[in-house]
Amino acid sequence: MTRRLPALLLAPVLAGCSVGDVRRDPPVRTAAPPATSAGARPGPAEVTETRAAQVAVGKGYDPPFVEFVDVALGYALFASCGERPAGRDCPALLYATTDGGRTWRKLRHPRPVAKGQQMYTASGLLTLWSEPHGWWTSIDGGGTFRHTPGEKEPAEWRATLGRFQIDQETDRVGRWEGHGLRPLPVQPELPALNTVTERHGVLVAAGARDGRAYAAISTDQGRSWRTTDVPAPDGAVELVWARNAPDGDLWLVGDRGDRRSFPALWRWADGWQAVRAEGHPERAHSVVPLGGGLLATNGPGGAGVVVEGRYEYLPWPVADVHNLVMLADGGLAAVAPDEVLLGVGRHAERRWVKVVLVAG
C-alpha cells in the first residue's frame, strides 16, 4: 500500500524517540552485543515463535499495513485490492491485536470507502486518513472515532509529536498548546533546523547546511539556547536528527544526500563526540539507538550494531526488506511487506517473534 504522507509526517519516527537529559553523561561501559568479530557476519538466526492468525478478509486484497505500538498492541489496515483503492467492492478493513499478534479482532472502520487510506499509531492513539474525507482519531483502541475534516492533521495526532515542534510554514520552533503551535520568543541560532525534541525539560534542536551538522540545547523550556559544537562529519550530511535510546542515551544521526549511505553519527558525552563504526556496511536504511551505548542499523547485510567505535553484525532474523522501529515499551519491530518481527528484550539481546496475518 502506498502511503501519501502529509508534510508534517515526512520526518523520521521521532515522536517515540524522545531526547534524554543531555547533562547526564552516558554509562562508562557499553553493553557488548552477541556478535562476531568486526566485519564478520554471523549465520542467520531463527525466530523463536511464529504467530500466524487468520482474519476474515476476502480474496483480492493487498497485504495489510501493520503497525505495532508496543510488543502487545498492534493494528492492521487492509486498504487496497491490486490497482483498485478502497471502493465499495473493496472496502478498507481494520483489525487490532492486544496479545502480540496471536489473535486479531475486527474493528469498525469509520470511512471504509475512499480514494486513499492510511493509518498512523502512537501510544494511546489510532489515527486514520481517508482521502478526501479527512481524519478519524480514536483514543480507546478503535472503539470510537472523532472526525476531523480537511487535510490538516488532527490535534490529537499533533500532540503525540511532542510539546515542542517545528512550524512547517515558518521553520520556527513552537510549543504545542492543544490546538496550535505558539512560536517560542527565542529561537535556536542555527543556520538550519530540521528537528527539535524534548525530554525531562531539555530541548535539543539540530539541522545541517553545506554538509555540516549543527545543534543547540535549551534547559529552560526554550527561553534561552546554547549552541553546541558538532565535529565535522566524515563526508557531507544533508539532514540531522536527534535520536534518543530508552535509557536516555542521546545521538545525532546525519543523513547523507542519497538517504541510503551509512550515516554520520555523534553521541553526547559531555558534548557531541563523533562516533566511528569501523567495518560498517555502505548502506543502512534504519537507525535505532538501543541503549547501553549501542545503536542498531539495518541494510543489505542484515542488522548490526555500532559499539565502541566498530560495527558488529547481529544474529537477528532481520533482512534488507525490514524496517527497524523502536516501540513505546522498548521492544523492537522489524516491519516487512508480508510480516512483522517483534524483538523482545533489551539492548542487543532480543528474542524474535514472527507475526503473520493470513486472509481467509
DSSP label at 235? Answer: S
The full DSSP string for 31-71 is: ---S--STT--PPPPPPSEEEEEEE---TTPPPPEEEESSS
Report the distance separating Cα 341 and Cα 136, nearest Å: 28
Note the pLDDT tens digit of each residue in 234-244: 899 999 999 98
In angstroms, the Cα distances linking 351 to 46, 105, 324, 339, 345 are 10, 25, 15, 16, 6
* Model confidence band, residue 339 (pLDDT cutoffs 50, 70, 90): very high
Dihedrals φ, ψ of 3, to 5°? -110, 120
Looking at residues 111-124, what average pLDDT do you find?
95
Report the distance separating Cα 7 and Cα 150, nearest Å: 14
Between residues 98 and 257, the one the model is more confident about: 98
DSSP label at 211? Answer: B
Between residues 101 and 300, the one the model is more confident about: 101
Task: Give the rounded distance of the alpha carbon of 343 from its chain centre.
Answer: 15
> Using alpha carbons only, what angle is made at residue 7 by residues 5 and 9, rounded to the nearest 5 degrees?
60
* Model confidence band, residue 8 (pLDDT cutoffs 50, 70, 90): very low
Write down the H helix ranges in 147-234: 155-160
Nearest to 260 by CA among 284, 281, 287, 233: 284
Report the distance separating Cα 94 and Cα 315, nearest Å: 34
**Matching residue, cell 472503539:** 143
pTM for the whole thing? Answer: 0.85
Mean pLDDT of the chain, nearest integer: 86
Which helix (H) or strand (E) covers residue 352, if one does? strand 349-359
Residue 18: pLDDT above 80?
no
CB 344 within 8 A of CB 334: no
Nearest to 240 by CA among 223, 228, 248: 228
- Please tell me the predicted confidence (pLDDT) of residue 296: 97
- Please tell me the predicted confidence (pLDDT) of residue 29: 35
Residue 249: pLDDT above 90?
no
- 215 CB burial (10 A radius; 0-12, 13-18, 19+): buried
- Please tell me the predicted confidence (pLDDT) of residue 328: 94
In angstroms, the Cα distances linking 11 to 5, 146, 240, 327, 354 are 10, 25, 11, 17, 27
- Please tell me the predicted confidence (pLDDT) of residue 42: 59
* Model confidence band, residue 229 (pLDDT cutoffs 50, 70, 90): very high
Report the distance separating Cα 258 and Cα 273, nearest Å: 24
* Model confidence band, residue 359 (pLDDT cutoffs 50, 70, 90): confident
Q: Strands 349-359 and 49-55: what pairing?
A: parallel
Note the pLDDT tens digit of each residue in 271-282: 999 999 999 999
Question: Residues 6 or more apart from 320 whose CB is under 8 A from it?
Answer: 285, 298, 299, 300, 301, 302
Task: Give the rounded distance of the alpha carbon of 222 from its chain centre.
Answer: 25
Report the distance separating Cα 354 and Cα 359, nearest Å: 16
Residue 27: pLDDT above 60?
no
Taking the CA atoms of residue 168, residue 169, residue 170 and residue 171 in that order, the dihedral angle to the nearest 10 degrees is: 20
Note the pLDDT tens digit of each residue in 269-317: 889 999 999 999 999 989 999 999 999 999 888 999 999 999 999 999 9
